[in-house]
Chains A and B, each alone.
Chain A
């Protein structure tokens, strides 16, 4: 499964999901805590999350960390590998 994640509010992400008919959840990490834990931002940084992706296996362990997942097509591409 795919989960999008950004620091946007639910309203912003809802508009995004509707505009592009995304059929996966968009996580609204408004506190940036998740982004910090996952390396999508740094302490004290402002602005948006970095375009990274993390693939997590069924055991809850990281299978792959993708430091540059920079296109909108990334999630679909990643799914092909799973």
Chain B
């Protein structure tokens, strides 16, 4: 499990519009990455 102070794991994935995201793209900002099980499920 990740904990405060760990280096965030790098990633390379596309979003729903086809834009590519990597960890480097988040540099300089606070970012919340929020995982959910399945698109459009109650929560």
Contacts and interface: CB of A to CB of B under 8 A. Distances in A.
Contacts, number: 163
- The bracket for how many chain A residues form the interface is 35 or more
Interface string A7-19: 0101011111101
Interface residues of B, number: 37
B30 A27 contact: no
Interface of B: 1-11, 13-19, 21, 23, 26-41, 43
Interface of A: 1-6, 8, 10, 12-17, 19, 25-29, 33-35, 37-40, 47-65, 67, 69-72, 74-75, 78-79, 82
Q: 8 closest pairs, A vs B, by CB?
A: A48-B37, A37-B9, A16-B39, A25-B15, A13-B16, A40-B35, A34-B11, A49-B35
